[in-house]
């Protein structure tokens, strides 16, 4: 059966968009009915050429140029829209890019716009955490899409598992012991998410379009505390895990570490408040994951499974 529907995937060579593209190219249920139109800034790079070899249509578009977005969406039944705040660290710029996507989806007559969103932390925290711009800007795009009236579903990715091995969880003093350090207590819940699972959620969202229009889907496998993350590591790697521990890092130390890596002050504060959100208000405002899991046909990646394939943990025992 010839594919007769198009899904336009933005960020198709990135983590989220790339996972969506792969699911629609490889899943037996989807690839017979859907064509992937993969949007990337540079159509000549290797990752784009690989997508083309797998059967994707490759198209270039600029999130700052709405006319290119309309072209990328014209004829598409569904669209996966995502922006990357960290490209520019410009909250107004990210909102404008998201607004451009919404406007283009309306102009192109897209039947299902799936927006990679997050909660508005300023509102959730009643102004206590006003600097988590990469959440707030995406939340404002969601609000704009709702006001605009386009048929949309909102996917909220969780705490990236990839941010833990070798980044927040790495060897250090004393004795080169493995330490998981965040500026929150070891009891703070993290909604862990393997970005490779993005396509599993988007598949379910597309297949159950009518019932999920206007809904939020929380993209995470499970809530784990910092303590539980370390316990899993100890079980997986008994030798390296003997001295592994969780370190509740003082906030000023966390800021110093981030600034030492070249982050500007406002971005370091943003990431600190992002972490404080976990403990004080909840990444998803305390929402449970059951309803979001109930739509899935595919099993999500657990933290135990993820650490066994993580490059940072390779060679441990």
Q: How far apart are CA 258 and CA 268, in angstroms?
A: 6
Report pLDDT digits (tens) over 125-150: 999 999 999 999 999 999 999 999 99
- b or e along 167-206 (b: 16 or more beta carbons within 10 Å of the residue's beta carbon)? ebbeeeeeeeebbbbbbbebebbbbbbbbbbbbbbbbbbb
* Mean pLDDT of the 43-58 span: 95
- pLDDT confidence of residue 174: 76
Read off the pLDDT of each residue in 35-45 and give the average, rounded to a whole number.
94
The pLDDT of residue 1? 42
Distance, in Å, from the CA atom of 306 to the CA atom of 140, rounded to the nearest integer, reads 32
Q: Where are the domains of the chain?
A: 5-225+264-308
CA distance 217 to 117: 10
pLDDT in tens, 73-87: 999 999 999 999 999
Average pLDDT on 238-243 reads 94
Three-state SS for 39? strand
Q: What integer pLDDT is reported at residue 3 of this predicted model?
A: 58
Q: Does domain 5-225+264-308 have CATH number 3.40.50.720?
A: yes
Given a cut of 70, is residue 278 above it in pLDDT?
A: yes
pLDDT at residue 2 is higher than 60: no
pLDDT for position 4: 83
Q: What is the pLDDT averaged over residues 304-316? A: 95
Q: What is the pLDDT of residue 50?
A: 96
Mean pLDDT of the chain: 96
Mean pLDDT (whole number) for 108-131:
98
């Amino acid at each position: 059966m010839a594919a007769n529907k198009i899904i336009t995937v933005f960020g198709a060579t990135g983590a989220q968009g790339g996972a969506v593209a792969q699911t629609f190219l490889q899943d037996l249920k989807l690839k017979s009915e859907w064509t992937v139109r993969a949007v990337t800034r540079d159509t000549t790079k290797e990752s784009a050429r690989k997508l083309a070899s797998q059967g994707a249509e490759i198209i270039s578009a600029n999130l700052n140029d709405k006319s290119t977005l309309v072209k990328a969406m014209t004829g598409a039944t569904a669209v996966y829209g995502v922006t990357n705040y960290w490209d520019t660290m410009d909250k107004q710029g990210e909102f404008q890019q998201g607004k451009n996507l919404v406007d283009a989806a309306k102009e192109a007559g897209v039947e299902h716009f799936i927006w990679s969103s997050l909660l508005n932390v300023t509102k959730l925290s009643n102004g206590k955490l006003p600097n988590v711009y990469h959440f707030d800007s995406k939340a404002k795009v969601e609000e704009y899409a709702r006001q605009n009236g386009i048929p949309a579903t909102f996917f909220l990715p969780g705490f990236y598992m990839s941010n833990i091995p070798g980044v927040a969880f790495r060897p250090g003093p004393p004795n080169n012991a493995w330490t998981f350090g965040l500026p929150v207590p070891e009891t703070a819940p993290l909604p862990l998410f393997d970005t490779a699972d993005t396509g599993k959620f988007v598949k379910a969202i597309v297949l159950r379009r009518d019932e999920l229009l206007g809904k939020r889907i929380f993209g995470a496998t499970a809530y784990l505390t910092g303590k539980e993350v370390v316990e899993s590591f100890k079980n997986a790697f008994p030798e390296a895990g003997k001295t592994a521990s969780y370190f509740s890092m003082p906030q000023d130390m966390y800021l110093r570490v981030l600034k030492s890596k070249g982050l500007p002050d406002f971005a370091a504060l943003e990431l600190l408040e992002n972490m404080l959100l976990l403990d004080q208000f909840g990444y998803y405002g305390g929402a449970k994951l059951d309803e979001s899991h109930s739509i899935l046909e595919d099993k999500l990646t657990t933290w135990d499974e993820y650490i066994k394939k993580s490059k940072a943990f390779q060679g441990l025992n």
